Chain A
Amino acid sequence: MSDQKSLIQEAGIESVLQDPETAHLVLDVNKVLQRNLVPGLKVETSEETDGVRALIRVEAGAIIRKPVHLCFGVSKPEALQRIILQIEIGGGAVMDVLAHCIFPQAVDIQHIMEADITIGDGGRYSYLESHIHSDEGGLEVLPKTHVTLGERSRFKTEFQLVRGRVGRIAIDYEAVCEKDSVLEMISKISGRQDDQIQIRETGILRGEGARGYLTSRVAARDNARADVYNKLVATAAGARGHVDCQEIIKDRGVVSAVPVVEVRHPQAHITHEAAIGSVDHKQLETLMSRGLDEDGASDLIISGLLA
């Protein structure tokens, strides 16, 4: 099977990529394997030694009707992949991206993503990042993103590991929000064995009426470790936000969560909640009273939390 087919099949997007109205870009390490563009969307790529540099631009006012599929994968067991993205969403433009990060054979892979995203006034951009990893955990994923949200714009990002082991992941996202913009960052990750998870998300609500929501859901089993640092800063009148960290530990797993809220304007308001603990006993006993064993009940509860 070719590299291209293998990555696309792992992502389960074969049929989607047949649709000429669906834009997509498929990369394997530093090679652009396949692409399709639609009106309003421009993509420029350059293949580098260890990765790909891409400029993705949505013209002002353009509405990309179907989600754009980005497949950033590595089909071989060992590699360094560095993706440098510059994404520009024009004023009033709309684009939803489904990113498939596929590393099914990973034994020793480092995947570095550096993204700089600008969303123009009234623009909307969502980025759902789904990872498929190998079961070996031989992977280091290092995504770093800076987002600038223009007035009345919206940005939503969600990270989820669909299959395989984490390995080591260190998410580092920061967003600066102008007037009446809305930021939403969601991370859902389950670690096991000796996986390491670091989540660092920061939202700076500097425009009047800007809103920000940071949500993390992490499970750490076996000897996995997770450190979550979510910070919202509000410096303008009417800025609102919430930081929500709900993490579960099992076995010898360790989680630390630090929700930080910083308010520098008397008319701003930010709340937070954080809970870390083992699987709730009442939930466990409810499922066990239907006949599930303790491990099966725990798995179901955790899968719900991360759904």
Chain B
Amino acid sequence: MGILELENVTLLLDGKTILNGISLDVWEGHIHAIVGPNGAGKTTLAAVIMGLKGYEQYGGIIRFAGQDLRGMSVSARAQTGITMGWQEPARFEGLTVEKFIEASGRDGQDPATVLGQVGLSPDMYLHRAVDRTLSGGERKKVELASILAMRPKLVLLDEPDSGIDVASLDNIFGALKYLKENGATVLLITHSEAVLRQAEHAFLMCHGKEIMKGDVEKLLPYFKGECIPCDHKNHPKPGVEVPKA
């Protein structure tokens, strides 16, 4: 049994099926990845798990640590230990990196320490604002630092390498390792083979469905061959054997 369990989760938006009967077991303390082409429903699935506005009316069941999440606000889900990192993190005019991280922190986590863990110098960044003066990659790292400060149990990370230069990828991967070592479960949403390789287990989504799951090595050939790029309009390719989910 996983720490996060999804049973036949469906979501319709404007009459269109976005998620079509997703069932997953996400094992505690492991790094998992959800991969798939654009439009497969990966980010939507993260939004449903986090309970974001507009994604609350799903079918099926989502349980975290045995607790049904239906009807719980984003804050309430976060208080159980779930958090999320966005593909494009929000900007906060005037709010300093230090205050942003402090607001996320648990147990007096030191903002300077977590900033250092994601490769940002506290001297240079603590008193800067989380606004447009930071690059997308810098905001991504600040957001990840705030997640480390929170000491979450489950982290949903949407495209954690988005906007991150190659030289900084190790900082992101180091943070993933730190989360795992501290008992957190990580669910990565990614297109990137490099990010996927950080995971121990993966789920492959296509057209709102989970079509494959298992070890990363098991999914990689199909993912690399059929999803990057996807030349069959986000449907499992006819004639290509898809291992059973």
Contact = CB atoms under 8 A, between A and B. Distances in A.
Nearest to A281: B53
Interface string B174-214: 00000000000000000000000000000000000000000
Given A281-B53, A307-B95, A291 B75 contact: yes
Interface in A214-253: 217, 246
- Considering residues B50, B83, B94, which has the most beta carbons from chain A within 10 angstroms of its beta carbon? B94
Contact of B129 (A282, A287, A288, A304): A304
Contacts of B77: 289
Contacts of A283: 90-92
* Interface size classification for chain A: 20 to 34
Interface string B64-88: 0000000001110111001110100
A292 B103 CA distance: 8
Interface stretch (A21-29, A69-77, A193-201, A293-301): A293-301
A49 interface: no
B104 interface: yes
B93 A304 contact: yes
A273 to B, nearest CB: 12
Contact of B78 (A280, A291, A303): A291
A103 B86 CA distance: 44
B95 A288 contact: no
Interface in B119-141: 129
B90 A288 contact: no
A225 B225 CA distance: 59
Contacts of B93: 246, 304-305
A286 B90 contact: yes
Contact of B150 (A282, A285, A291, A304): A291
Contacts of A294: 73, 75
Give the secondary structure class of B's interface: mixed
B74 A305 contact: no
B89 interface: yes
B99 A288 contact: no
A290 to B, nearest CB: 4
Nearest to B47: A285
Contact of B95 (A246, A289, A304): A304
A306 interface: yes
B146 interface: yes
Contacts of B147: 290
A287 to B, nearest CB: 6
A282 B86 contact: yes
Contacts of A282: 86, 90
Contacts of B129: 304
Nearest to A286: B90
19 contacts: A280-B90, A283-B92, A285-B50, A286-B143, A287-B103, A288-B73, A288-B74, A289-B82, A289-B84, A290-B78, A290-B150, A291-B79, A291-B83, A291-B150, A292-B103, A303-B94, A304-B96, A304-B129, A307-B95
Given A285-B50, A289-B78, A305-B94, 12 more contacts: A286-B90, A289-B50, A289-B84, A290-B83, A290-B103, A291-B79, A291-B104, A294-B73, A301-B92, A303-B94, A304-B93, A304-B94
Interface of B: 50, 52-53, 73-75, 77-79, 82-84, 86, 89-96, 99, 103-104, 129, 143, 146-147, 150
Interface of A: 217, 246, 280-283, 285-294, 297, 300-301, 303-307
